[in-house]
Amino acid sequence: MLAKDCCRLTKFGLKALVYPHQQLAKMTSTALSDIHKDHSDSWHGKVEKDGHFPPRSGRYHLYIGLFCPFAHRANLARHLKGLTNIIDISIVKPYPKGDDNGWPGWKFDSAYPGATPDKLFDSQYLHEVYFKADKEYKGKYSVPALWDTVEETLVNTESAEMLRWFQTSFNDMVDEEFAKVDLYPEELREKIDKIAEWMASDLNTGVYKAGFAPDQETYDKNVVPVFGALNKLEKIIAENRGPYVLGKKLTELDIRLYATAIRFDTVYHQHFKCNLGFIRHDYPVINNWMKHLHWDVKGFKESTDFKHIKENVSQLRKLLIFHGR
């Protein structure tokens, strides 16, 4: 999906090229299963009681990039649910993303402000972690990625899935104030699912469809839905009278929207040419909603790093210019 182009990198020519670390990588018992169906599939495991991956403090490790809106969603849920002392993180440098074929991918560089080493394996690149889970892996190296230190494999690499089950999986291990945070309340699930569907297509991934459009026609087709989604969200938040998207209750819609909105004026407007309007000038309701989350709700500001966001996208400038943007 284009949504993951900013965060996912494909290994090129795997069948033809053999790298030394591949020969050393370990194929775990969960490498090919319902969790990871084939060597091109991502991981879809779930932390749950009595499941293959039971909740345990310190057992799981989250790999993220502070530049990536999809990794931001998982990390933000980690903050809101009080999991920062239960799930540690390693943070990749926001650039470079690799050569024209995406190799070797995201790098660990503790000298870069806000980035960390790979705290588990001291890997140089994120792809090394993927190869530890599946030595024949042919897919993409993405953030976020959740690792199980007991099974020695990846659990999940899909932010939307993590966002959903992070909300309940560790409730028995956190203080009541965090356990009662319910971002997917039963009475609002129908609304959440309906809005999340078009928000993902038109806005969360829409900025990338427009920004990486290969020609003017494709750009024109994809930039309009971005602002159509913003128009609808401006109206929804206003009608529900805030302070959150659906009114008085914080939900996962706020996380999904915030991760895109906080990047919009800073990078998407200029670099991705989503420039039919600014949030700060043309969407006052969304702007006030976003400022409230950033400054008043703990976890939003703490998980946002503008240096990583801006420097990641600035490094894509050559690619965007190549595409005529």
Residue 194: both structure tokens together: 């309906």
Whether residue 257 contacts residue 245, with contact meaning beta carbons closer than 8 Å, is answered with yes
Whether residue 209 contacts residue 91, with contact meaning beta carbons closer than 8 Å, is answered with no
Amino acid 11: pLDDT: 39
CA distances from 108 to 81, 121, 206, 211, 305 (A): 26, 11, 29, 26, 17
The tens-digit pLDDT sequence of the chain (325 residues) is 334 444 554 433 333 333 333 333 333 444 457 899 898 889 999 999 999 999 999 999 999 999 999 999 999 999 999 999 999 999 999 998 877 667 899 999 999 999 999 999 999 999 999 999 999 999 889 999 999 999 999 999 999 999 999 999 999 999 999 999 999 999 999 999 999 999 999 999 999 999 999 999 999 999 999 999 999 999 999 999 999 999 999 999 999 999 999 999 999 999 999 999 999 999 999 999 999 999 999 999 999 999 999 999 887 665 555 444 4
Domains detected in the chain:
2-179 (3.40.30.10), 186-322 (1.20.1050.10)
Q: Residue 186 carries which side chain, given as an amino acid letter?
A: E
**Is there a catalytic annotation at residue 274?**
no
Q: Residue 198 carries which side chain, given as an amino acid letter?
A: W
Taking the CA atoms of 310, 107, 155 and 101 in sequence, report the sign of the dihedral they define: positive
Q: Kindly state the DSSP code that residue 113 receives in the 8-state scheme.
A: T
Distance of CA 137 to the CA centre of its chain: 21
Q: What is the CA radius of gyration of the chain?
A: 19
Whether residue 28 contacts residue 152, with contact meaning beta carbons closer than 8 Å, is answered with yes
Q: Beta-carbon neighbour count of residue 13 at 10 Å?
A: 8
Amino acid 99: pLDDT: 74
Burial class (CB in 10 A: 0-12, 13-18, 19+), 272: buried
- Would you mind telling me the total number of residues written for the chain in this entry? 325
Three-state DSSP at 10 gives strand
Catalytic residue among 6, 7, 68, 274: 68
Distance of CA 302 to the CA centre of its chain: 16
Amino acid 1: pLDDT: 39
| Separation between Cα atoms, residue 52 and residue 64, nearest integer Å | 23
Burial class (CB in 10 A: 0-12, 13-18, 19+), 279: buried
What backbone torsions phi and psi does residue 140 show, to the nearest 5 degrees? -115, 150
